[in-house]
Amino acid sequence: MKPVRSVDIEQKNIEQKYDKGLVASTFIKYAAYIIIFFGLLYFIVRYVFPLF
């Protein structure tokens, strides 16, 4: 017969805290980068390539 062992299980609840304002400002920042990139790309295709 096996001996009965008493095992205590410890549970940890991890809550990830984040600021929604920080997420929104990061999204706006990267959206602005993408808009600037495509604006520059449009300018190059529309005005610089026809010169060649």
What DSSP letter does each residue of the chain carry, written as one string? Answer: -PPP---------------HHHHHHHHHHHHHHHHHHHHHHHHIIIIIGGG-
Q: What does the domain layout of the chain look like in residue ranges?
A: 20-51
pLDDT value of residue 31: 98
> What pTM was estimated for this model as a whole?
0.60
Residue 24 has pLDDT above 70, yes or no: yes
Q: To the nearest whole number, what is the mean pLDDT of the chain?
A: 88
Look at 6 and 44; give whichever has higher pLDDT: 44
- Confidence category of residue 5, pLDDT binned at 50, 70, 90: confident
Look at 19 and 30; give whichever has higher pLDDT: 30
pLDDT value of residue 8: 80
Cα 52–chain centre separation: 39
